[in-house]
Amino acid sequence: MIRGVRGATTVKHNNAEEMVDTTKELIAEMINKNNVRPEDVAQVLISVTEDLDATFPAKALRLITGWAYVPVMCMREIPVPNSLAKCIRIMMTVETSLAQDQVQHVYLHGAEVLRPDLKNKG
């Protein structure tokens, strides 16, 4: 079955190193919580809010062993007024045997406010 695994995090500064490190932390948590293998990933979409432009957070994926051939794309999030600032969101499309309600979405560093209904899941 094909499933989407969501994740989001925030950074304190529009800084390339912080963006890559924080994105790598988020991706690693998504991988670990859902037992994701790179060969089971169709694509990874990463969006950033308009206040982040220091680097492409997709660079983080390339730092993870075995993930060099996973297709990844960055894009800008819709600039909705009063939305969560300095936010990096990820949608990972994976083949998995997990049921939809078993997928563990990951929200770190204040991004839990995006999906408080999932806060205690997993």
Which residues are marked as active site?
6, 62, 74, 77, 89, 107, 115
Q: What is the distance of C-alpha 83 from the center of its chain?
A: 17
Q: What tokens does 58 get?
A: 């997709």
Helix (H, G, I), strand (E, B) or coil at 76: strand
Strands, E assignment, 1-122:
2-10, 41-48, 72-76, 87-95, 106-107
